Structure 1
Amino acid sequence: MIYGYQRPLFNDKDMHIQTAILMDCDQVFTENHGRAKKRIALEELLMTIEKGDTIRVHRFFSIADSTRHLEELLKICKRDQVTLHFMEENITSTQLLEKSLEQVLQFFLIFQSDIVKQSTTLGMAEAKAKGKSIGRPKKSDDNVKKAIDMYQSEKFTLLDIKNETGISKSTLYRYLETIE
């Protein structure tokens, strides 16, 4: 049997890309969240596979959340004599790699980058849901007004303004653009 596995990712929340890639699988296991913990569909898939089966995923990060997790999944597949096929990288767990070290490192750099992007996206969504503001806090209006007044008086240097108000040159210019 050919199984597919997908989950919501930072760049494919609705799983349209993954669904299109996994269309020709006999059965697709779909996770309802993109977090690392409580991956029920993945556990169900791992309990279902049998010797000679293939698991297809869009890319490394579609199934694994860390290098260690990827290694564990590869060991399980090897033990159970199941092939894990990473479609985007065009690599299977059973083939001898005919890739250069540079290509392999590039795959892992992308994988690590995906891990960071996914956790950042999930963290920001959770913070927004809790009502927390995202990004750098805004400067107080009084401080901004004071910096603009100092700048427009032409009596102070940019360094004086920064030391007095804590507002950098680029931030000051950004505020000045909004009032012009």
Structure 2
Amino acid sequence: MNKVFGYARVSTIDQNLDTQIEALEKFGCDRIFRDKISGVTTQRLALDEMLSVLREGDTVVVARFFRLGRNRDHLIYLVNDFAKRKVHFKALDVGIDTTTPAGKLILSIFASLAEFDRETILEKIKAGQLLAKAKGKHIGRPVGINQQNFEKVKMALEKQMSVAEIVNLTGISISSVKRYKKTIQLIN
């Protein structure tokens, strides 16, 4: 049987949830999850608990839309996640209801905003990489072998030292030590 879950949040301990709870009770929520915590905090126990019990066909109701997410991106993520999980969403203050055509339209606008944000971020990253490359900066893993470190690893391996011991002794990263060890084994 599908459930209707309410979610209410206030940002500080001295604020109260009364008006949100009243609206959610009036709506007829089966269970109401409550958080008294800043919106910027990434861990919200009541929200996380609610997300863990949601099933396809359930409905999430909030009295105030912006009390659901930490910020715009988090709101978009949550609403899109509800859609993927086939969970209905209603925000009483702004009239969003994903069981209606208008609500589905708003949901698709959110999905488009999220996609736009992702593409914009990727474009900025690519532009930054191209600019750095044009200025002669190397991006990513160093090219080739650091001969000095290679020799250190080679000498340590000749003394029968383990990879962990070489890392501790030289400060060379474990991935580099393993890569140099593999190269040495191929040569021999």
TM-score, with length taken from structure 2: 0.48
- After superposing on structure 2, the runs of 4+ consecutive aligned residues of structure 1 that deviate more than 6 Å are none
The equivalent of 2:31 in structure 1 is 27
The answer to whether residue 95 in structure 2 is matched with residue 93 in structure 1 is no
The equivalent of 1:42 in structure 2 is 47
Count of aligned residue pairs for this structure pair: 100
Q: 1:97 to 1:68 in 2, by over 3 A?
A: same
Alignment match of 1:84 (pick from 86, 89, 93): 89
Alignment match of 2:75 (pick from 46, 70, 77): 70
The equivalent of 1:18 in structure 2 is 20
Per the alignment, in what secondary structure is the counterpart of residue 97 of structure 1?
Answer: helix
Indicate the structure whose relative CO is greater, using CA pairs within 8 Å and at least 6 residues apart. Answer: 1
The equivalent of 2:125 in structure 1 is none
- Give how far 1:74 is off: 1.1
d(CA) in 2 for partners of 1:66, 1:32: 16
TM-score, with length taken from structure 1: 0.50
Q: Which runs of 5 or more residues in structure 2 are unaligned?
A: 110-188
Identity score, percent: 27
Q: Deviations over 1:60-92 (max 9, x none)?
A: 111012221111001110111001100011111
- Give how far 1:5 is off: 0.3
d(CA) in 1 for partners of 2:39, 2:96: 24
- Give how far 1:95 is off: 2.8
Greater Rg by CA = 2
Q: Which runs of 5 or more residues in structure 1 are unaligned?
A: 105-180
